[in-house]
Homo-oligomer: A and B are copies of this chain.
Amino acid sequence: MDIKVGLIGAGRMGSAIVRRLLAAGCDVLVYNRTPQKASALVQSGARVASSIEAACRGRELVITMVADDAALQDVLLRSGGLRDSLPAGATHVAMGTHSVAAIGAAESAHRAARQNFAAAPVLGRPEAVDAGQAGIVVGGSAAALAACRQTLAVIGRRLFEAGDEAERAAALKLTNNFVLAGCIEVLSEAFALVRKYGVAPSVCFEMLTEGLFSAPAYRTYGRIIAEQSYDQVSFTARLGLKDLNLVLAAADAACVPLPSANVVRDRLLSAIARGDSDRDWSVIAREQARASGLD
């Protein structure tokens, strides 16, 4: 694939994306605020850009994978940022997890600058991207989607097209995270209940995952909760709270009450209040256990 790609934000997820692109034969320019991370990709064939402007030079597509809304806004709007540097007709694809509002604002900014914009958040972790197993949700104008579809197909296993506004992809991705959070909460309550009746958590785990709930979400989090192994951290409570707040903000903007999201957020707040902010976010099960007189 001979597409010329720029990538801004070479953290763990950004680096995995770069590796997928290089493996498919793309020409990739990488910019990272701290240059060391970008350098690590050079041996895989990437070239390092010393500024956002340099990373945009001659690119048809520039991908951002930055930590949060503030970073996206900065990379986009600062002097010499993406809005200033992206060639006319080129496309910015924001692949981080962002708020609906930030994605909407980015779409407006690019539209005003006659640039294309798509949101394409990744479902799954860097390891899944490396293994070619990640799903990707994408949304944006027809021109933006036409410009990035082939590249995204190289990065992920499957595209889920959310529609012709970038914020739809943001909303859909946040919904995925919300459904996961809801699953963890229900498991938390379920395991507390069976424990109070003296049922071995492992039996409950098997009943659920051999039956109606034989899915990765239940196997992964059911095991952690059954074993109370919240120190095996795949996603911290603090990040979980950040995600839940993004979900609730999206729901607020659309006037959608989400009672299950409230329940999870409350448990996360309690977990963080008690010092578990850096444990796996399934540590909400410990809050449920405490509220049940266990522990």
Contacts and interface: CB of A to CB of B under 8 A. Distances in A.
Given A203-B160, A212-B180, A213-B183, A259 B255 contact: no
Interface string A215-230: 1111000000000000
A270 to B, nearest CB: 4
Interface in A143-179: 158, 160-163, 165, 167-168, 171-172, 175-176, 178-179
A145 to B, nearest CB: 13
Contact of A197 (B100, B197, B273): B100
Nearest to A245: B252
Q: Is the interface of A mostly helix, strand, loop or mixed?
A: helix
B215 A197 contact: no
B178 A197 contact: no
Interface string A235-263: 00000010001010011101111111111
Contacts of A185: 182, 259-260
Given A206-B160, A250-B193, A274 B293 contact: yes
29 contacts: A100-B197, A162-B203, A163-B200, A168-B198, A171-B197, A171-B199, A176-B208, A179-B190, A182-B183, A182-B260, A189-B258, A193-B254, A193-B256, A196-B256, A211-B216, A212-B216, A213-B216, A251-B269, A252-B269, A255-B273, A255-B293, A256-B269, A257-B269, A257-B270, A257-B292, A260-B260, A262-B262, A262-B265, A273-B291
List the 8 closest A-B pairs by CB distance, nearest first: A273-B293, A182-B186, A257-B266, A215-B215, A255-B273, A262-B262, A196-B254, A171-B197
